[in-house]
Structure 1
């Protein structure tokens, strides 16, 4: 009886040595048969990453820039956001700007605009889009483009300027605000029109 069982076990082992390797080969061939062709373009799913877009996404939220000129004029610039320029890290594009200039003699100037571009190479801030200027001595002016020199606190509006001031309603082709030793001089030029109204 024991010999019969040993014979069955021996035959099972012999068949297993043949059947199991064949079954393994069958499984491998099935894998290769049904596997899909590899597309090299699908090998890297993130190959379409836009490096420039990543750089543009480096946004500063609610930044504040402040400093002082040689004559002691304090300048502060607040914004909703700022994005560094891809070509020059010393330049920056700014959105929703609020700037304030306070001179040593007590006069102050507030400026707002939709956009601005800061250039650290020339220390200038160019404001664009619905630029509004308010001065502590009563001027309320509007223009489209305004350039501020952050070293000298000089302000230049190369285009048309509209607004009101102590003399009345003012319209001009350009405007300049220059300062020296804490004294500012506001000059309107290029076809100045004034409707005199002392109540303004």
Structure 2
């Protein structure tokens, strides 16, 4: 008898490389199913609607929440909302696929309550200094936004003990292989 696969929830502090890791997995492990989150923030350069995120208006996001179409959602960095659309994740699970949900700490906590059987993976930076370097280096936020994200990152780093597994993102290829191996082990 085959049991339903466990979803894998990937969270970690801002600028740790969750998006980079997900993109690497998307390109090198096409058999892995990645959930696409919805967000009210504007796309960054190179981001594609429906591939990286579903970029929606605040009104569209509110309607999705009101309809119960989100597994989890949160206001991140006090500004924009992010959430995981329910239907696609449930369809992947029903089809025997292990979904990878790349979300923030607030969302992971919500999912722990609603999907307690999920495997929770914390993506950690090699060091605090490296996290700061990555945030500053990507150049996508102004000074005030960077400061807000670093304050949030301190809280997020302290939560690593809430997770089942910690993967250090010191090398994208190695971290991706470790994560995909964990995901594949979730299928009976």
TM-score by length of 2: 0.26
The higher radius of gyration belongs to: 1
The structure where helix makes up a greater share of residues is 2
The structure where strand makes up a greater share of residues is 1
